[in-house]
Amino acid sequence: MAIVTFKSNAAGEIYMFRETAEKVFKVIGKPLGIRGVLTPEELPAAIAALKTEMEKEKEYLKAVREREDKLFKEGKDLDEEKKPSIEQPVYFTQRAYPLLEMFELSLKDDTPVVWGV
């Protein structure tokens, strides 16, 4: 697993597994590449794309919770095969949020975000 390092003079460094970074960059519509840069001019579109995807995920998770709550109140088994687990999934929003913050701070300071593997 490769690690991608994101850097910005406005926010320091963020480290992310390449697979996760590729998912984030698919959302913002830019190829990740070995090295790259997001210019201050590109940051508003990247920020908007990330926020849109995060909102979609939030709505989806809200609908799932509402469905599970309804089934629970009706006394129905949510999933007979489901076993309790202490593991909780890490969602896109949780993984992408540090980059969103970096992008916002970089836009505010009019500085690019660069990355490399």
Q: In the prediction, which pLDDT does 97 show?
A: 95
Tell me the β-bridge partners of 116. Answer: 5, 35
Rounded CA separation 94/92 (Å): 5
Q: In the prediction, which pLDDT does 12 show?
A: 87
In tens, the pLDDT along 36-67 reads: 999 999 999 999 999 999 999 999 888 877 77
**How far separated are the first and last CA of the chain, in Å rounded?**
11
> Which residues of the chain fall below pLDDT 70?
76-88
Q: In the prediction, which pLDDT does 75 show?
A: 73
Q: Taking a C-beta distance cutoff of 8 angstroms, is the pair 77, 113 a contact?
A: no
Q: In the prediction, which pLDDT does 69 show?
A: 73
Calculate the alpha carbon distances from 99 to 7, 27, 38, 93 in Å.
Answer: 10, 12, 12, 10
> From the CA atom positions of the chain, what is the Rg in Å?
18
The domain spans of the chain are 3-73+90-110
Q: Taking a C-beta distance cutoff of 8 angstroms, is the pair 98, 5 a contact?
A: no
